């Protein structure tokens, strides 16, 4: 797959020592944090896997190509929350059913989502396998959500800016309304994060994520 090159991030060439230290400790947090969470949540992962398997025919883990830092594609993991033929049915929904303007597709009552899948999506439990993406280094615990290749193909330069940093499991968008936000608001939140990212901002987002997830608002 062709790599989509992102522009230089806003902080390029500025205070490199601070940024190198930040990148080092961010990676340490990602490795340790993801490993601990995988170990602690392993019973939960097992239960979810069984529920997904019993909910409908198909694989337990859904693998999808997403675009990471600097436009590099990687394999993205999540618990399957849709019926097995969901990708084939997407084309018929893209025109007329998309509830969001811009390159993203969002539909509150998507008929492709299973009953178990709706519960998993409401509390972001389907995203837990991405802890393995974090451990591998394809993602971070905190960062802009990784887009699909077809979405990136529609990005302008301002949207490509969000590819300047590693994608994350959680981000400002996750704690500020999720799918209830417009694409422009989503982009503004990601731009703010890229321009102001720091260890303390990451920690603040991580601490606020459980409350936002438990509220279940804007998740579909």
% of the chain with per-residue pLDDT over 70: 84
Within a domain: 9? no
pTM of the model: 0.84
pLDDT(182) > 90: no
Within a domain: 46? yes
At residue 94, the pLDDT reads 64
- The whole-angstrom separation of Cα 178 and Cα 81 is 17
Within a domain: 52? yes
How many domains would you assign to the chain? 1
In 3D, which of 188, 149, 194 has the Cα closest to residue 168? 194
From residue 141, alpha-carbon distances to 24, 54, 81, 144, 200 in Å are 14, 29, 21, 10, 13
In 3D, which of 105, 177, 172 has the Cα closest to residue 143? 172
% of the chain with per-residue pLDDT over 90: 52
pLDDT tens per residue across span 15-45: 334 478 898 999 999 999 999 999 999 999 9
- The whole-angstrom separation of Cα 96 and Cα 4 is 28
At residue 10, the pLDDT reads 40
Give me the chain's average pLDDT, please.
85
Within a domain: 104? yes
Within a domain: 183? yes
pLDDT tens per residue across span 91-125: 777 665 655 666 776 777 788 899 999 999 989 99
pLDDT tens per residue across span 85-99: 777 777 777 665 655
pLDDT(156) > 80: yes
Average pLDDT for 138-142: 97
Within a domain: 7? no
Give the domain extent around 128. Answer: 16-215
pLDDT(214) > 90: no
Within a domain: 66? yes
pLDDT(174) > 80: yes
Within a domain: 145? yes
């Amino acid at each position: 797959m062709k790599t989509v090159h992102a522009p230089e991030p806003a902080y390029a060439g500025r205070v490199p020592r601070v940024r190198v230290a930040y990148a080092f400790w961010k990676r340490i947090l990602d490795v340790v944090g993801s490993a601990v969470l995988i170990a602690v949540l392993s019973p939960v992962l097992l239960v979810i896997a069984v529920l997904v398997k019993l909910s409908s025919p198909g694989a337990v883990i859904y693998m999808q190509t997403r675009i990471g830092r600097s436009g590099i594609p990687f394999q993205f993991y999540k618990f399957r929350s849709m019926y097995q033929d969901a990708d084939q049915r997407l084309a018929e929904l893209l025109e007329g059913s998309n509830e969001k303007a811009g390159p993203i597709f969002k539909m509150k009552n998507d008929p492709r989502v299973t009953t178990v899948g709706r519960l998993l999506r409401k509390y972001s439990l389907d995203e837990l396998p991405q802890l393995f993406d974090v451990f591998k280094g394809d993602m971070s615990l905190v960062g802009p959500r990784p887009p699909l290749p077809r979405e990136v193909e529609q990005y302008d330069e301002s949207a490509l800016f969000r590819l300047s940093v590693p994608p994350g499991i959680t981000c400002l968008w996750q704690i500020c309304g999720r799918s209830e936000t417009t694409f422009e608001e989503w982009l503004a939140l990601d731009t703010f994060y890229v321009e102001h990212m720091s260890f303390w901002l990451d920690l603040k987002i991580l601490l606020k994520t459980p409350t936002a997830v438990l509220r279940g608002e804007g998740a579909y």
